[in-house]
Amino acid sequence: MESVNLPRERASEAAKLMRHLADFLQPGTILLSDLFRDPEKLFEAAEIIQKLQTIAQDLVSGGSTVKLVK
């Protein structure tokens, strides 16, 4: 059962990160997610930002170009 749950959890985490990335990439918006405005969720927000930064660094160092499609 664990072999099924682990990929599902990873996919869920990836989808969550992509939603947050989309928030950051929206021109002219101020972080819509309450997560980034709630002082009680500071550590959770920092964790997400750190993960997104790691992904961005990996993309840049690999010479990849990412194009978002709506």
Confidence of residue 70 (pLDDT cuts 50, 70, 90): very low
- Please give the pLDDT value at position 47: 93
pTM of the model: 0.66
Q: What is the separation, in whole angstroms, between the first and last Cα of the chain?
A: 35
- Contact between 51 and 17 under an 8 Å Cβ cutoff? The reply is yes
> Rounded to whole angstroms, what are the CA distances from 56 to 15, 41, 49, 59, 60?
16, 23, 10, 5, 6
* Closest by Cα among 13, 5, 22 to 44: 13
More confident residue, 63 or 17: 17
More confident residue, 3 or 66: 3
Distance CA 8, CA 15 (A): 11
Over the stretch 13-50, which tens digit does the pLDDT of each residue have? 889 988 888 877 777 766 567 888 889 999 998 999 89
| Length of the chain, in residues | 70
